[in-house]
Amino acid sequence: MGSIKSPGLLLTSFRRQKLALPGYESLNIVYLTSEAVPFAKTGGLADVCGTLPREVAALGHQCAVIMPAFRSVYRAGIQIETTDISFAIPMSGKKLIGGRLLKSKLPDSNVPVWLIDQPQYFDRESLYGDSLGDYPDNAERFAFFCRAALAAIARIDMNVDVLHCNDWQTGLVPALIQATPQRYPDVNDTTTIMTIHNMAYQGQFPAQAFPWTGLDWDHFTHETFEYYGQLNFLKTGIASADYVTTVSPRYAMEIRTPQHGCGLEGVIESKGGRLMGIINGIDETIWNPATDVKLPVQFDQSDWEAGKVANKRSLQSEFGLEVSDDVPMIGLVGRLAEQKGWDLILPVIRLHVEEARPTQWMILGSGDKRIEDDLASLAEQAPHQVAAHIGFHDALAHRIEAGSDLFVMPSHYEPCGLNQLYSLRYGTIPVVTATGGLADTVVDTTPETLANETATGFHLHANSPFGLDQALGRALQLRYHEKKSWNNLVRRAMAADWSWRKSASQYVELYANATSLNENSLKK
Ligand code: ADP
């Protein structure tokens, strides 16, 4: 297949083939993931894997999810059944590790969630690490997960058409099948898809971890598992999967470059037309201001002004901020990680505090200890202007989206980003860097986009604290001095359709065409 420059072109070439190939209507798709809402979540991966299978199932396909039975799974408040399916994986030498399958389902669906129960690996307080850093046995844990998932597939009575792997934790799966097809007769001609939710997290380990794959060293080559002498799970998945997707068209382009490819741009480029970007959607059963039970006051496009003010007041009283309807509340929710642009945000908050600007900051996040400390000290310095909640708090994330006027997300890179989509849905105008999914989903406000009624937010015109402050200034200027335009902006943002319907159809189209092409090439 020749190299196709724009990821968007891929579908067109598939579509032509699809019409000629019958039997794609109902597909069996297994999603492999380490996170899915409501069972386990550290970021957007969980939102996607908790929703996409349900949406694809609603389009008439059989879907199942396989994930580890982390401790958080038992706390999700969802019924979990035991099964009589168990297996033992020869992890290294004579070390046999047993596991068993538990079964649950995604809420509001019939999509089964198969949970790989292995307490020694997965019954831990966090998913990937603790305050000391990543768990030192992550290579072993997730090599086990990949192999156990393949063992599980052989037992769950599903004739799998597509194995949809997500992020590095599942990256070994396509390569294990390719390396030892005889071990996996149920899936050795199955189409594999690898979705990259964040290129920066690759699961890279010293070569000594390779034996956890259960393969001979002959397989440790640069075509698959090996990356400059190390074992790299994500690279393995990208290189071995039939198709690779990422979570926005813009990011699909960006990861072909050294700036965003994180060293894997060459592997990405080698996929040619087998790479595409599909934007994430939002789960409207969870993120809809008109029905969101986590909000003190629900609202929709008809009463957004009153609704947002009521939610703002509630946040102000709860967090000891000055209670004022007029002061603009700037919300932030996200990981306290370099990626999210805290090096831009912190100086701007500091500036607003020092100059006693009429703004309020409502921040929720956890992660990097230094950023946590900086936020805590700003909140201490200006308790009526800055509130920071350090930790993971789902209900508060909803309330911040509802009560804020602006949402700041100046990420250095952003594969898709969900918070800006939630912000749009909740009438909270996003101020974002023009990168990845942020560029694909937020239309910058300019005289032209106001005139042609497409504007939905603000882009930074320079990726610096100054650029962020300027973008905030443009937003506040519109809010206070062009009220009619501001109101239109909010209504347009709320009306934009970011539901999963569109994206799920794009995935189905990919599955259908990919399996058709796969079948064709097998027949040859
Ligand atoms: P990423 O996956 O890079 O962390 P996304 O914007 O794609 O970023 O998704 C982040 C998801 O995690 C969103 O659903 C967001 O609301 C949620 N989230 C992030 N941090 C927190 C937190 N501290 N408390 C509650 N939810 C959070």
Q: For residue 212, is it within any domain?
A: yes
416 and 506, same structural domain?
no
Question: In the prediction, which pLDDT does 375 show?
Answer: 98
> Residue 19 falls within a domain, yes or no?
no
Residue 8: its pLDDT value, please? Answer: 40
Say if CB 234 and CB 167 are below 8 A apart.
yes
Task: Report CA(331)–ligand 1 centroid distance (Å).
Answer: 13
Whether 348 and 201 map to the same domain: the answer is no
DSSP run (H or E) holding 16 = helix 9-18
Residue 245 shares a structural domain with residue 384: no
Q: Clarify whether residues 256 and 307 are in a common domain.
A: no
Residue 522: predicted pLDDT: 56
User: Which domain CATH number covers 62?
Assistant: 3.40.50.2000
Distance from Cα 44 to the centre of ligand 1, integer Å = 6
Q: Coil, strand, or helix at residue 488? A: helix
- My answer on whether 341 and 354 are in the same domain is yes
DSSP state of 96: E
CB proximity list for 372: less than 8 A, separation 6 or greater: 336, 365, 366, 390
* Whether residue 431 sits in one domain with residue 453: yes
Kindly give the confidence (pLDDT) of every residue in the chain, 524 residues in length, as a single tens digit, with 9 standing for 90 and above: 333 333 343 433 333 333 333 444 799 999 999 999 999 999 999 999 999 999 999 999 999 999 999 999 999 999 999 999 999 999 977 789 999 999 999 999 999 999 999 999 999 999 999 988 999 999 999 999 999 999 999 999 899 999 999 999 999 999 999 999 999 999 999 999 999 999 999 999 999 999 999 999 999 999 999 999 999 999 999 999 999 999 999 999 999 999 999 999 999 999 999 999 999 999 998 999 999 999 999 999 999 999 999 999 999 999 999 999 999 999 999 999 999 999 999 999 999 999 999 999 999 999 999 999 999 999 999 999 999 999 999 999 999 999 999 999 999 999 999 999 999 999 999 999 999 999 999 999 999 999 999 999 999 999 999 999 999 999 999 999 999 999 999 999 999 999 999 999 999 999 999 998 777 665 44
Residue with tokens 């390569």: 175
φ and ψ at 173, to 5 degrees?
Answer: -55, -55
The answer to the question of residue 243 being in a domain is yes
How many A from CA of 501 to the centre of ligand 1? Answer: 21
Q: Are 195 and 206 in contact (CB under 8 A)?
A: no
Instruction: Indicate if ligand 1 lies below 6 Å from the C-beta of 397.
Output: yes
Q: Is residue 20 part of a domain?
A: no
465 plus 375 within the same structural domain: yes
Tokens representing 199? 């290129």
Task: Using the mean position of ligand 1's atoms as its centre, give its distance from the Cα of residue 127 in Å.
Answer: 15
What range does the domain containing 399 cover?
301-497
Domain membership of residue 41 (yes or no) is: yes
DSSP string across 377-389: HHHHH-TTTEEEE
Residue 365, ligand 1, Cβ within 6 A:
yes
CB of 273 closer than 6 angstroms to any ligand 1 atom? no
If asked whether residues 175 and 222 sit together in one domain, one would say yes
CB count in 10 Å sphere of residue 396:
18
Check pocket membership of 394 for ligand 1, CB cut-off 6 A: yes
pLDDT of residue 7: 39
In SS3 terms, 181-203 reads as: HHHCCCCCCCEEEEEECCCCCCC
Residues 264, 341, single domain; the answer is: no
Q: Does residue 422 sit in the same domain as residue 392?
A: yes
State how many domains the chain has.
Answer: 2
The Å distance, Cα 183 to ligand 1 centre, comes to: 38
Query: Are 478 and 513 members of one domain?
Result: no
Question: From the alpha carbon of 340, which atom of ligand 1 is closest?
Answer: 3
Q: Which residues pair with 389 in a beta bridge?
A: 364
pLDDT of res. 307? 98
Establish if 293 belongs to a structural domain: no
- Is the C-beta atom of 281 inside 6 A of ligand 1? no
Q: Please indicate, yes or no, whether residues 253 and 349 belong to a single structural domain of this protein.
A: no
Q: Which of 335, 396, 407 to mutate to test the pocket of ligand 1 (most atoms within 8 A of CB)?
A: 335
What pLDDT sits at residue 17? 35
pTM: 0.92
Is residue 419 within 6 Å of ligand 1 at its C-beta? yes
Q: And the tokens for 516?
A: 């058709």
The two tokens of residue 320 are 């000891």
Residue 511 in any domain: the answer is: yes
Distance, first Cα to last Cα, the chain: 16
Please state the atom number of ligand 1 nearest to the C-alpha of residue 339. 3
Q: For residue 517, what pLDDT is reported?
A: 75
- State whether residue 66 is helix, strand or coil: strand
CA distance 144 to 462: 45
295 located within any domain = no
427 within ligand 1 shell (Cβ under 6 A): no
